[in-house]
Amino acid sequence: MDEERLNKMADDLYLFFPLFRKKLFKHKKRPDKNKMPHSYYHILKVLSKRGELPMSEIGRRVYISKSNMTSLIDKLVENGLAERLPDENDRRVINIAITDKGRNLVGKWRRHSNNDLKTKLSTLSDEDQETFYESIENIQTILNKIDNN
């Protein structure tokens, strides 16, 4: 691909993310009264899906640096949404686990978010929905090929 096309793609990507967020992920109302950053939900979703994990592994999965993870986990523990558990095999390792309160919050947030997204996406024609679905799958496949070194 030529340099001009790569520059255009880079410029378009910077505009793509705000548009994507504005059109799909700007929720009018949240099911919980306390507005929490999306990073908290991402962490809780990983914990609900994978079970207890060390902080470094959670950070790797949600693309948050280890230095930022500590304060996020502290807040989740403080709010009773997660808990610290000693690792059974290595006493130097502390695992993080989601609590029932955290699991309930993730469930509410997921239902609300999915309903909001389905409402927005249902305004598209069937053909546009299929194209959008295929495009998301293609983007995920391509992004996974990019080397992060």
Give 39-94 pLDDT, tens digit per residue: 898 999 999 999 999 999 999 999 899 889 999 999 999 999 999 999 888 888 89
Q: What token pair was written down for 17?
A: 């993310």
Q: What is the pLDDT of residue 88?
A: 87
CA nearest to 109, candidates 48, 23, 50, 18:
48
8-29 pLDDT tens trace: 999 988 888 888 888 887 755 5
Strands, sheet with 53-54, edge to edge from the N-terminal-most edge strand: 53-54, 94-98, 82-86
pLDDT in tens, 64-78: 998 899 999 999 999
Stronger pLDDT, 14 or 130, i.e. the higher one: 130
Please compute, for residue 32, the number of CA atoms within 13 A of its CA located in the half-sphere on the CB side. Answer: 17
Helix 38-50 × helix 55-62 angle, to 10°: 120
Q: Is the confidence at residue 3, as pLDDT, over 70?
A: yes
**Per-residue pLDDT at 110:** 87
Q: Which domains does the chain have, with CATH numbers?
A: 35-145 (1.10.10.10)
Highest mean pLDDT among 6-10, 67-71, 98-102, 117-121: 98-102
- Predicted confidence at residue 27, as pLDDT, reads 58
